[in-house]
Each structure stands twice: as structure tokens, then as C-alpha cells.
Structure 1
Amino acid sequence: MSKVKYYYDSDTLSYKKIELKKSRKIGIAFLSIAGAFLAGFILLIIYLNIPQLETPKEKALKRELENMKLQYGLLNRKMDQIQEVLANVEDRDNNIYRLYFEANPIPEEQRLAGFGGINRYQDLEGFDNSKLIIESHKKLDVLTKRLVVQSRSLDEIVSLAQDKEELLASIPAIMPVKNENLKRMASGYGWRTDPFTKVRKFHYGMDFSAPRGTPVYASGDGRVTRADNRSSGYGRHIRIDHGFGYTSLYAHLYKYNVKRGQRVKRGDLIGFVGSTGRSQAPHLHYEIFKEDDRINPLNFYYGQLSAEEYDQILKQSQQENQSLD
């Protein structure tokens, strides 16, 4: 509320109110408004040119932004470290694990492939720190994909390892009769003289001479598919399906110790040496099939022979003598 001013009138000996002229009132009002605008403008100029003048809220937001930038920087460094560790795992996966289990290496392009199509980071654009945030998200996405690819590869390696273990147990890897002195092999795989016709013909197995009743053992894990004498020339014989395309055959037996459909383990007693079928003397005729091809059993004795013993039996098997069947 404005103050009222008075003056003393000596003629009337009384105080009278001082009345301002209308034009003067307007001038004073204009000067007041102009002064207010000028003061506000000056304060605005000062505020804009002195950046250290911040409100408490602005200071808090600035601290939060700086902390966010710091956290993203730390996150990027951690992801770089993880990528280094993952790259080492990927290298071992391709050059050790997958190589050992005969699996094709995963191409680097497949491991490092990005994401095509639409812009996945459109929502992150248009901010002061968009580049930092988008780069972090890209690293994280690629790292996630590499981890998924590696995880699937390790799942495959585990499966291959289980198959490998089963394969190693199933392959016919020992001789079917005890042969400590390595003198029981009478005839090997290859061209031999037929004992009945005296004609040179191919002998598809190995003959182990042994007295009638000598134990015969399964050379690998598998399932007995035949234990009968209904195959020409073999007499009483046993066939074991080892899986993975391998089958072993034991012929001219005296009697069986297993029956059709039975599961056996390597080293199990399955029968006894005899001379049934097309046989000249008691012996075991032993064959190995891979799919439908008969292959040299000598290649599978790694399960019990040293290098010297293998060399000795190799020389015996290469002698072109007369077979026993």
C-alpha cells in the first residue's frame, strides 16, 4: 500500500493531501515496469553466462548422468573381458574338443554374426549419450549370441563324448580267445589255400587254433543277433551287433554260452571252440563286419597288444599258408 503524503497550508493553517498529477502517475508506473523488465533481463544474461549457477535438482540430475556414464564405461570394460575369455573358450572348442570328436569347427562368421533387418536400437537414438548406450547394447547382444552358439556347441560335444565312450566300449578291440604267447593264430586275413579244395582263395577272417572247449570271449559290448548253425560253412556260430555299424562273428563253435537277443560286455564268455561246419580241425574262425564289408580283425587288437606284440602277430598273419576252414 503506497504512503499518503501531506503538506501544511499556512493560509488555512491545516494539512492537505498532496495529489499527484495523472501524467506523473503513468510515468512512474511505466518506469517501474521498465525497471522490472530490465532487472529480469540482466539477471537472465547473468544466469546464462554463469553455468556454475545450478539449481539443486539440476545438480542431482547431473550427478546421476555422470554416474550412468561411469557405469556404462565399467560395463563395456567387463564385456570386453568376457569377450576375451569367451574367445579363448571358442578357440579351444574349435581346435581341441570338436577336432577330437571329429566335428566340424564352427565358422567365426557364424559366431560373430550381428543382427540384420530393422533398427533394433531406434528407441535409444536422439539423446546426448545415445552412441555410448547403443554401443553397449550392441556388444551385449553379440556377446549373448556368441554364448548361445557356444552353449549349443558344448551340448553337442557332451553328446559326442557320450557316443565316443559308447563307441570305444562297443568296438571289437580284443582277441576272442586268450592268446598270451601269441601262438594260437593259425591263419590271417587275406589270400590263403583252401584246406579242402587246395585252391587259393580269399580268407575273410582270422583262425585261432585251440583245443575243443577253449573259452571264446566277446570282443566288444553289443547284442547277440545270432547263435545257431544255419549259415553255410560256419557251423555253430555267434554274431554280435556292436552298434555303430560293427558286427563280429565267431564260427565253428562246440557250444554256446549265450542266446539270441542277449546283451554282452567285452570279455564276457559267449561260447567254446569246436570244429563244426566246414572246418578241418578245432579252431575259432573270427570275422569283423563294418556295415556290409568284412574287414581285417587285426586292426582292432589295440585293446590288449603292445606295439611289439602287434608287430609279431602282424608278421604271423601275413604268412600265406593254408587256412583251417
Structure 2
Amino acid sequence: MSKVKYYYDSDTLSYRKIERKKRRTLKYFLAFLFSSALFGLLFVFLASQFFKSPNEKALERELSNMQLQFELLNKKMTEAEAVLANVEERDNNIYRLYFESNPIPEEQRKAGFGGVNRYKAFEGFDNSKLIKESNKRLDILQKRIVVQSKSLDEIAILAAEKEKLLASIPAIQPVNNEDLTRMASGYGMRTDPFNKTRKMHWGMDFTAPRGTPIYAAGDGVVERADSNSSGYGKHIRIDHGYGYVSLYAHLYKYNVGKNQKVKRGDLIGFVGSTGRSEAPHLHYEIFKDGERINPINFYYGSLTAEEYSKLLDRSSIENQSLD
């Protein structure tokens, strides 16, 4: 119950009751509401300067977590870059060097992205620099991985080609050591057995009994197996590819035919004395790009160091050839 208020009226010399007008009451009420609202806004403003809302605290935690995640991401990228750098170094200095391929330049591996600003969408934020740098590093890392992946694909092809080359080069002695009577004559100037003059002997002569097996010195395709070449008698020519051809002459008989594919070590024929020959033996030649070369340099696939040394000594003696 509201209190009744009075005032003293000097004209009537009596106390009179104070009557509150409705307009004034409304005015006071509105003034109270305005002052309350003003005070409330002031309180909220001051509170916002010194106190944080639950939503702000949640956003701060989320931002802090995001910064931590970016730092961890950058740390992982640093580790990945170190591993990739090691692979790149081995790729340039071991793999590509071994397969005789040019190293990939550093500027090609670590090239950035020119032209359009790829990171414009990350600008205008408090952590724009961190986000832009992280994305830039990640893009360059991905590009380096692509370059390295293509390089490894190329090396795989080179390795397969190298393996094919190594298998194709005529690299073994065509007659087994245990089947040899002796190594009669080597590559170089020798005495002709028929006219006794010195002439160039373009291959190596391996003396062995008639019927001794002869083996392909490398993978290839039989180019010829006939007796239509002067002086060689029955002979075989194998095209090994890469410019290499091996020739086996004075055979007793063949074990392969023209256009037949052979592997290193396959039995291709037997020692004989056909054609311009003084005694049963194998005359063996190697051609590289159409030029005859010394077969002594191509026995690393079948002889020990000691056997090769002895063969080298015997082949260097200027004696009489057998053809």
C-alpha cells in the first residue's frame, strides 16, 4: 500500500493531501526506464571491456587450437621437406648418375607459382600471414613430390632399359674354359696360317675339339646362320641391339636359325673347321656400330679376375692365327 503524502497550506493554515498527476507519474516512470536502460548499457559496455562472454571464450579457444594445429602442420611439413630433400639428393647423385641421366635442377624442383595471387582468399584476417605461408609451403611440397614422382618413373624406365642393355651386351666367353684346348690367337696383327704374311686378325680364336658347344654371349636375335660369307664357313651373327653384333665362325653345325631370339648362355652351335680354317676352333668377333672391336674387353660376365688376366696375356702374344 503506497504512502499518502501531505503538504502544509499556509493560506488555509492546514495540511492538504498531495495529489499526484498521472502525466507526472508517467514522466517519472519514463525517466526511470531511460536511466535504467542507460545504466544497463553502460554496465554492459564496461563489462565487455573487462569480462569475456562464454561465446568469446569459446572463439578464443578455437582460435588458439587453430594456431596450434597450424604450428603442428608446419612442423610436419618441415619433417616431410627434410625426407623429400634426402630422396631428391639420392635421386640426383646416385640414381640419375648411375643411369647416365641429367640431374633435375634445384630451381625446377622448388619452383613457386607465379602470375595470379593464389592466396588472396586468405588475406584480411588476424592470422593471414600464417595461413598464407602454410598453404604456400604445402603447395610447393606437393609440386616437389610430383616432380620426384615423375623422376622415379623415368628412373624405372631407365633401369629396365639398363637391365636390358646389360643383358644384351656380349659379355661372356662363348666357349667354356674347361672345353678349351687353348686360346690360339687374339685380336691384332697375326701371321696368316696359309700365306705366312702378317695381317690383321679381327677376332679371337678358341681352340676346342669338333662338336664343342658354343654359347650366345648376350641376349639378341640371330641375324644370320649360314655359310654365305667368304672365309667364315658356317657362321652365326647375333644382333644384340644397341649397336652390338657378335659373330661365331667355322662352325660344325647350328643349333639356332635366322630370326630366332636367344638369351645369354643359350647353346647356338658347335665348334668345327669349315671355311678358311686350319683346325677345329671358334673364331669370335664383336662389332659395335659396324666397327670391329677387341672381344677381350667383353668377358666380365663369365671369367674370374685370374682367368681374365691369363686370357689377356695369351691373347696379346703375336702368334699364328688359325684362319
TM-score by length of 2: 0.87
CA contact (8 A) 2:216 2:263 kept: yes
Where does residue 281 of structure 1 map in the other structure? 279
Percent identity, aligned pairs only, is 66
CA distance in 2, matches of 1:259, 1:182: 25
Query: Aligned Cα RMSD in Å?
Result: 2.9
Matched residues, number: 317
Is residue 294 from structure 1 mapped to residue 292 from structure 2 by the alignment?
A: yes
Q: Are 1:192 and 2:190 an aligned pair?
A: yes
Change (3 A) 1:255 1:21: closer
> Residue in 2 aligned with 1:174?
172
Say if 2:192 and 2:199, in contact at 8 Å, map to a contact too. yes
Report what 1:129 is aligned to.
Answer: 127
User: 1:63 matched to which residue of 2?
Assistant: 61
Q: What SS does the corresponding residue of 1:303 show, helix, strand or coil?
A: coil
Residue equivalent to 2:314? 316
Counterpart residue number, 2:47:
47
Determine if the alignment matches structure 1 residue 162 to structure 2 residue 160.
Answer: yes
Corresponding residue to 2:142 among 141, 144, 156: 144
Q: Secondary structure at the match of 2:177?
A: coil
Shift of the alpha carbon at 1:108? Answer: 1.8
**Quick check: 1:5–1:18 contact (8 Å CA) kept in 2?**
no
Please list the CA deviations of residues 39-63 of structure 1 after superposition, one character each: whole Å capped at 9, or x if unmatched: 255325413531xx22222222222
Change (3 A) 1:225 1:4: farther
The answer on 1:107 being equivalent to 2:105 is yes
Q: Give unpaired runs (5+ residues) of structure 2.
A: none
Task: Tell me the SS of whatever aligns to 2:211.
Answer: coil
Cα distance, 1:78 vs. partner?
0.8
| TM-aligned CA distance change 1:20 to 1:235, over 3 Å | same
Partners of 2:219 and 2:172 in 1: CA distance: 11
Residue identity opposite 1:299 in structure 2: N
Residue 36 (structure 1) shift: 4.5
Residue 301 of structure 1: CA displacement? 0.8
Residues 122-181 of structure 1 deviation map (CA, whole Å, 9 limit, x = unaligned)? 111111111111111111111111111111222222222222222222221111112238
Q: Could you tell me which residue of structure 1 aligns to residue 35 of structure 2?
A: 35
Cα shift at 1:37: 6.2
When structure 1 is superposed on structure 2, of 177-186 and 67-76 the one drifting more is 177-186
Residues in 1 aligned to 2:276 and 2:219: alpha-carbon distance in whole angstroms = 28
1:188–1:203 contact (8 Å) kept in structure 2: yes
* Alignment deviations for residues 100-120 of structure 1 (CA, whole Å, 9 cap, x no partner): 222222222221111112111
Partner of residue 246, structure 1: 244
- Partner Cα separation in structure 1 for residue 143 and residue 278 of structure 2: 67
Task: Report which stretch shifted further, 172-181 or 286-295.
Answer: 172-181
1-side partners of 2:275 and 2:260: how far apart? 24
Listed one character per residue, the Cα deviations across residues 41-100 of structure 1 (whole Å, up to 9, x for unaligned) are 5325413531xx222222222221111111111111111111111112222222222222
**Aligned residue type for 2:92:** N
Give the Cα–Cα distance (whole angstroms) in 2 for the partners of residues 144 and 261 of structure 1.
49
TM-score, L = length of structure 1? 0.87
Structure 1 unaligned spans of 5+: none
Structure 2: which amino acid aligns with 1:155? D
CA drift at 1:17 = 8.3
CA distance in 2, matches of 1:174, 1:97: 27
* Inter-partner Cα distance in structure 1 for 2:100 and 2:178: 34
| Cα distance between partner residues in 2 of 1:250 and 1:77 | 65
Inter-partner Cα distance in structure 2 for 1:58 and 1:246:
79
Residue 299 of structure 2 aligns to a residue in which SS? helix
1:86 aligned residue (64, 84, 95) = 84
Distance 1:30 1:286 in 2: 122
Please say which of residues 196-205 and 265-274 is displaced more in the overlay. 196-205
